[in-house]
Amino acid sequence: MKYYESWKKYYADFWTRLFDFNGTSTRPAYWWVEITNTIIYAIIIVLISLITKTQISDILSMNTNNNLAFVLFCIITIVYGVFILALTTRRLHDTNNSGWWIVGTFVPFHIGDIIGVYVLILTLLPSRKSKWRQP
């Protein structure tokens, strides 16, 4: 029951601070929300596949002639990405790093991939004394 209560608190906090790029998010707060949102995202992709009768691999590779599947996938991916930006920024703040590291993940030619791995490693680090922590 303890984990359910924690998850519920973290997920409610995620929705109330959806566009809050200030402050911090603890490691459990980040990962509970990330795992939950990934499961929901996967379920939505399966539903899109069933509704549009398109293979999941075609949807994920964006290699489909089905316009509805393509549009739905793009919308859900953009929404998921925007929602997770503030949370990831707060998590980086909790490790005493700038949230601007996320911008580096958009750099082309695999440089962004390397920065993305670095950001992932930063989210795994324990909380530190941070200048972003609110009193």
Burial of 82 (C-beta count, 10 Å sphere; 0-12/13-18/19+): exposed
pTM of the predicted protein model: 0.81
Confidence band of 1 (pLDDT split at 50, 70, 90): low
User: Is residue 63 one of the residues assigned to a domain?
Assistant: yes
User: Is residue 133 one of the residues assigned to a domain?
Assistant: no
Confidence band of 36 (pLDDT split at 50, 70, 90): very high
pLDDT surpasses 90 at 107: no
Confidence band of 46 (pLDDT split at 50, 70, 90): very high
* Domains identified in the chain, total number: 1
User: Is residue 132 one of the residues assigned to a domain?
Assistant: no
User: Is residue 33 one of the residues assigned to a domain?
Assistant: yes
Three-state DSSP string of 80-131: HHHHHHHHHHHHHHHCCCCCCHHHHCCCCCCHHHHHHHHHHHHHHCCCCCCC
> Distance between CA atoms of 92 and 21, rounded to whole angstroms?
10
Q: By the 8 A CB rule, do 92 and 23 touch? A: no
User: Is residue 131 one of the residues assigned to a domain?
Assistant: no
Residue pLDDT, tens place only, 52-100: 888 888 888 888 788 888 888 899 989 888 888 999 998 888 888 888 8
pLDDT surpasses 70 at 24: yes
Domain that holds residue 19: 2-124
Q: By the 8 A CB rule, do 131 and 24 touch? A: no
pLDDT surpasses 80 at 4: no
pLDDT surpasses 70 at 13: yes
User: Is residue 130 one of the residues assigned to a domain?
Assistant: no
Q: By the 8 A CB rule, do 87 and 32 touch? A: no
Candidates 83, 114, 89, 111; CA nearest to 102 is 89
Fill in the DSSP letter of residue 14.
H
